[in-house]
Structure 1
């Protein structure tokens, strides 16, 4: 790796062959020296799961032409980052980028997201990190409108830095490039999933379930990621992984413990 170009770790949760990560690799190749460590199969919704009761496989792979070095990992997105840092890279990367995810990771989705958990794992390791998502769940989503925003945000992160303990959650609306109004710095919207389990029976008479649901936005603020996306903006939310509810500490100290 050259000293002049930053070392960039690329990962995702949709799998190493997903169009979103292939697009992200193309963009990062123009910015720095790229090492890819990504799941060998889709890992969406895995959150921050790690593999503790099974073996991990991580093997070199060539998916398409390019200067990047690639590894396919049998584990979760968080596993991929751990493998990269501890077994593959000979130095800490200057940046970790995760995505581009097929689908939204705004609001409460950040909790469930394998894309964002990979970025958070990098942040825990002291690596500046960004998770990128496009609001299009289809496998053959068009990522062309994402390229300029992903490149610009990445270059800004490398130039200005991301504070320790913080990662960036970037969501891009499903719009044509000329329809996107710009970028908004936001807070996470207060929302949740009203879930439903579709109960069915197999041909053998065994019951099984499909998880479905409807997103409920409880937040009417115009400074949230959901508002930005619904109004044609790219949203950036700085996310911290210190989950301490600091405002509750003083109240807890009044309890008779």
Structure 2
């Protein structure tokens, strides 16, 4: 990035381009850089790292609200990862200096990072060598207060740009459901070892056909003091650095003794 240029920031999400969370994030990023928005035209929660390969993709320029970015927004028919891929290869005038995804409605802490479309969009940017951050608020309400953590969000973004995160590095930021005066600050921590204990509710449709509806409950089985779940419970914003390399490096040496 040239010293006199404002950082180019790509904004995306998985709740859809009109979701209150992404509209709030766009406002915040307008104060920091030159914002381009490429986001799904409809909700894509839980899509993980899915990409569109068996159907066509549409990406339409759209104006949603006023602001410096008002003529730099596109609604995409695909997944969050599709949005990032299209933005980088077809839409942006140059490679972005940072990709921010969110603000998601609901937590993406611990195991949720695997399923999250919000985080997968950020990870896709990381794969492209672009520093990226996924923001999530632990509140599913449509009227959630996304501005309670505004100061922290902007500080995290500015630090990420100023400190030049390593290529491939992605931050998973989760914000507890608290008012501005109740937030205690940020904590850099690790992902908790938590799981979803899932089941499928069996039902019948009007024609008598059996169908299933995914249900389940979240269980945090990690009692560590240094986890994202603990930070959130204690009123802190959790910041977990993640990477797309899923190699279990610690097991490679042991496997070298296997009779393969």
Q: Scaled by the length of structure 1, what TM-score is found?
A: 0.98
* Separation in 2, partners of 1:109, 1:214: 12
| 1:63 and 2:70 correspond | no
1:3, distance to aligned residue in structure 2 (A): 4.7
* Separation in 2, partners of 1:3, 1:99: 27
- Would the aligned equivalents of 1:134 and 1:146 in 2 still touch at CA under 8 Å? no
* Structure 1: stretches of 5+ with no match in the other structure: none
1:144, distance to aligned residue in structure 2 (A): 1.9
Q: Please show how residues 154-173 of structure 1 align to structure 2 within 5 Å.
A: 154-173=157-176
SS at match of 1:241: coil
User: Which of residues 87, 92, 99 is equivalent to 2:95?
Assistant: 92
User: Which of residues 225, 249, 252 is equivalent to 2:255?
Assistant: 252
User: Which of residues 190, 195, 200 is equivalent to 2:198?
Assistant: 195
The CA RMSD over aligned residues, in Å, is 1.3
1:54, distance to aligned residue in structure 2 (A): 0.8
1:78, distance to aligned residue in structure 2 (A): 0.4
- Would the aligned equivalents of 2:52 and 2:82 in 1 still touch at CA under 8 Å? yes
* Separation in 2, partners of 1:115, 1:162: 19
* Separation in 1, partners of 2:48, 2:143: 23
1:146, distance to aligned residue in structure 2 (A): 2.2
SS at match of 2:148: helix
1:212, distance to aligned residue in structure 2 (A): 1.3
What CA deviation, in whole Å up to 9, does each residue of 1:43-82 have, x standing for no partner? 0000000011111001100111111110000000000000
- Would the aligned equivalents of 2:130 and 2:168 in 1 still touch at CA under 8 Å? no
SS at match of 1:162: coil
Q: Please show how residues 90-169 of structure 1 align to structure 2 within 5 Å.
A: 90-169=93-172
What CA deviation, in whole Å up to 9, does each residue of 1:60-108 have, x standing for no partner? 0011111111000000000000000000012100100000000000000
Runs of at least 4 residues off by over 4 Å: none
* Separation in 1, partners of 2:167, 2:147: 31
* Separation in 2, partners of 1:209, 1:63: 37
* Separation in 2, partners of 1:235, 1:194: 23
* Structure 2: stretches of 5+ with no match in the other structure: none
| 1:179 and 2:182 correspond | yes
